[in-house]
Structure 1
């Protein structure tokens, strides 16, 4: 008796159809139904359905998806997708998430993934691994790739050597334009993106560069040496990435050669890497201005975040105790006049905000090298003028309000004088503190905030209460 094969289609998983799901809604937020469908596919190990959901994803979107998934689902997603997973997505996630994912992957899986990446992206992933795991992954790579990546990893962190791509096109100066173009057409191992051809001698020293547009406009018999730029844009491999970013910003560069201490060509910096550097540096400055560590991420644990924020909160508490001690010096005046206690927070708040405004401008100008010895006094005079002018304006406004509020011209006069002094001093403190810290070799973005706020509070309380004490005891 023959058995008839049951060809009844299996029931589809419950929930929305894969084809009808979209990753982001109209406002650009992640779609909960899509995330739920991906999680279901991962738990059921449905590789085909998972591939259908994330096929043609840009690495940035894939990175957002990884961050949105539960921690246990992230490495599983990579394993199920196999060669279809673009490891570049790991460069788009928070460092804490990347480290967690890599811990859950086999060394062989990581090695296969980084082989298809540009060297700069591969370095970002490898430097997130512990030394033992890093060595194990490198051991599984071909010798040529291993040596190139290890050389980049040997450079200091946040240097051009860590950020550079080791894939570039270099030719001898005696080649013709025709030879160079034919070489690029016939060679499979070309960089994915490049904007110029580098010219080197037999020892690998950088001699010059030719932009692609100039190469394509030149006649085939012309030698490269005839059309090359003898002074190409170059940076030292050990140079800090922030300095390199400033160079790109100043001269509108799209790429630059990276050389070692002997002027040997070792890599190339691309504008897309510089965009990432600028974003990282701006992000770090903003966090540090708030007393937050530059490497803090939203994915960090509660205990790590608490430990990173504790030091500057402790400093704030200590300086607040000093401010409280200043207030205690005028205890008798406060007991005699309740109006002083009511108006005191206004003085402190105005001074703190004015100081923060000046400090923010100063720290940013120091970071971008717009503020230095040549123009420091001019900027100091400008900020002092702004503080004095604001002080006069708000002295009139607050003096009138306080006088009407407490039916006392004297109270209005006292707070007016205090605001002039506080806003002037806040402006000076907001620029002198960052300048002083910078001169001492301390990052002003890290330390300026707590000092400026505390100094303006202390001076504000002392000025207001001191003027009031003298005025009413006359």
Structure 2
């Protein structure tokens, strides 16, 4: 049964005839969609009918803002039981988004062992490996043999989210290797597990490493899970591939929004005041930048008054350069998001974009020259237009490729309002080059 069918069923029976079996049959992701499609009062009724385990799994799949709103409307006893049954990383993500009073109230109702674990996870920066790791892992002593390890796995695997790897530690709890279920099944009887990993190239990540870098490592090495360790190489947890998908999706959304000056964590459900606070500084900066371009145009007001067609044509120059720059900007931001920052390789990419800009500008300038000459029979004007296009498109390519790198070098988000800076540069240079050339050679 699809999510729509469940919604229809919910509406028809007003929750009274909906059985637990019908609700439990849903995949958590489908149930999350069902919940999100209901009014908040109906969401509460829906969740109350689910077994706690199913409610926890479904709420974990919900959008952050919908998740927060729902938890706030549940009674605290039920909300605490749901938090308790969530995977530790999911529960931590939920708690981080709640007000401090509600967070503390829920933690007080969670059993002591789980509460201690959640409080530990809450101390990590949410944007680091420690902030996204899962602590439900199977840890085995390296001196166990395969049969002992399999027996221990049978005892613990039901409560673990990641059963396909086991992590070997020494007497000081230091991580010494990782074994898969396949490794255990194929291992010789009687031999210690440490023999399976003695030649292993162990890949780990520190708890304070940025989560975006963690995603790159997992993608680079094609891992299902990456161990997170402290400075003493003691295992703290693992980041799994499903977390990486969320990280990549989140980072892509943030880059898209910050590139135009919106808040990185802003959504359509964000409070209006929050969105205004995030956007207004960049809009003010955009006014300042636009004023610069307007001042450049003002310097040539006499030329425009003498030849009105200049006012129309100058927009073509700036728009074409802006589009050229946006193409370079998008490619560069994607490159920085997908790969570890390599200064030499990154700046080589800038020269690549310059080459592309030169070739593209030559093609476009020839086409524009032909069109302007055909329409106006003014070859001097057509030439000025073509030369201005070459100049501004080249500037657009250079700016679009280098702005993210400059922001990266000074420790800022490469995508942060890059398009605003790019537009200022291409508009100012475009207006100045075209109107300046027209003033010298045409008027």
Q: What TM-score do the two structures reach when normalised by structure 1?
A: 0.87
In the superposition, relative to structure 1, how do residues 40 and 129 fare at CA in structure 2: closer, same or farther (>3 Å)? Answer: farther
Cα distance, 1:251 vs structure 2: 1.1
Q: Tell me the distance in 2 between the aligned counterparts of 1:208 and 1:414.
A: 67
Report which of the two has the higher share of helix. Answer: 2
2:138 to 157, 169, 172: 169
Q: Which residue of 1 aligns with 2:240?
A: 270
Deviations 1:246-295 (A, max 9, x none): 11111111112221222221212211111111111112112212222111
Cα distance, 1:59 vs structure 2: 1.6
Q: Tell me the distance in 1 between the aligned counterparts of 2:275 and 2:361.
A: 38
In the superposition, relative to structure 1, how do residues 169 and 438 fare at CA in structure 2: closer, same or farther (>3 Å)? Answer: same
For 1:21-170, what aligned pairs fall within 5 Å after superposition? 23=2, 31=4, 35=7, 37-39=9-11, 41=13, 44-46=14-16, 48-49=17-18, 51=20, 54-81=23-50, 83=52, 85-170=54-139
Instruction: Check if 1:317 corresponds to 2:287.
Output: yes
Which structure 2 residue ranges, 5 or more long, are not aligned? none
Cα distance, 1:145 vs structure 2: 1.5
Instruction: Check if 1:340 corresponds to 2:310.
Output: yes
1:202 to 144, 164, 171: 171
2:256 to 286, 302, 310: 286
Secondary structure at 1:220 match in 2: coil
Greater Cα shift, 328-337 or 205-214: 205-214
In the superposition, relative to structure 1, how do residues 460 and 69 fare at CA in structure 2: closer, same or farther (>3 Å)? Answer: same
Deviations 1:284-316 (A, max 9, x none): 112212222111122234444344333222222
Q: Which residue of 2 aligns with 1:416?
A: 386
Cα distance, 1:244 vs structure 2: 0.8
In the superposition, relative to structure 1, how do residues 158 and 220 fare at CA in structure 2: closer, same or farther (>3 Å)? Answer: same
Answer whether contact 2:20 2:51 (CA < 8 A) is retained. no
Secondary structure at 1:268 match in 2: strand
Q: Tell me the distance in 1 between the aligned counterparts of 2:110 and 2:72.
A: 19
Answer whether contact 1:39 1:69 (CA < 8 A) is retained. no
Which structure 1 residue ranges, 5 or more long, are not aligned? 1-21, 25-30
Q: Which residue of 1 aligns with 2:425?
A: 455
Q: Tell me the distance in 2 between the aligned counterparts of 1:139 and 1:358.
A: 52
In the superposition, relative to structure 1, how do residues 377 and 256 fare at CA in structure 2: closer, same or farther (>3 Å)? Answer: closer
Answer whether contact 1:90 1:125 (CA < 8 A) is retained. no
Cα distance, 1:467 vs structure 2: 0.6
Cα distance, 1:37 vs structure 2: 4.3
For 1:369-408, what aligned pairs fall within 5 Å after superposition? 369=339, 372-408=342-378
Secondary structure at 1:86 match in 2: helix
Deviations 1:159-204 (A, max 9, x none): 2122111111112122111111122234465413322211112332
In the superposition, relative to structure 1, how do residues 436 and 84 fare at CA in structure 2: closer, same or farther (>3 Å)? Answer: closer
Q: Tell me the distance in 2 between the aligned counterparts of 1:391 and 1:266.
A: 54
Greater Cα shift, 104-113 or 81-90: 81-90
Instruction: Check if 1:212 corresponds to 2:181.
Output: yes
1:295 to 262, 265, 269: 265
Q: Tell me the distance in 2 between the aligned counterparts of 1:84 and 1:276.
A: 22
Secondary structure at 1:420 match in 2: helix
Q: Tell me the distance in 2 between the aligned counterparts of 1:248 and 1:272.
A: 11
Cα distance, 1:211 vs structure 2: 2.2
Q: Tell me the distance in 2 between the aligned counterparts of 1:401 and 1:72.
A: 63
Answer whether contact 2:357 2:397 (CA < 8 A) is retained. yes
Q: Tell me the distance in 2 between the aligned counterparts of 1:256 and 1:377.
A: 31
Greater Cα shift, 303-312 or 444-453: 303-312
Q: Tell me the distance in 2 between the aligned counterparts of 1:317 and 1:197.
A: 57
Query: Between Structure 1 and Structure 2, how many residues are aligned?
Result: 442
Instruction: Check if 1:243 corresponds to 2:213.
Output: yes
Deviations 1:314-356 (A, max 9, x none): 2222211211111011111111112111211111110111111
For 1:176-191, what aligned pairs fall within 5 Å after superposition? 176-187=145-156, 189-191=158-160
Superposition RMSD on alpha carbons, in Å? 2.1
Q: Tell me the distance in 1 between the aligned counterparts of 2:2 and 2:284.
A: 43
Q: What TM-score do the two structures reach when normalised by structure 2?
A: 0.93
Secondary structure at 1:403 match in 2: helix
Answer whether contact 1:288 1:445 (CA < 8 A) is retained. yes
Cα distance, 1:52 vs structure 2: 6.0
Answer whether contact 2:128 2:211 (CA < 8 A) is retained. yes
Secondary structure at 2:320 match in 1: helix
Q: Tell me the distance in 1 between the aligned counterparts of 2:269 and 2:34.
A: 14
Answer whether contact 2:318 2:431 (CA < 8 A) is retained. yes
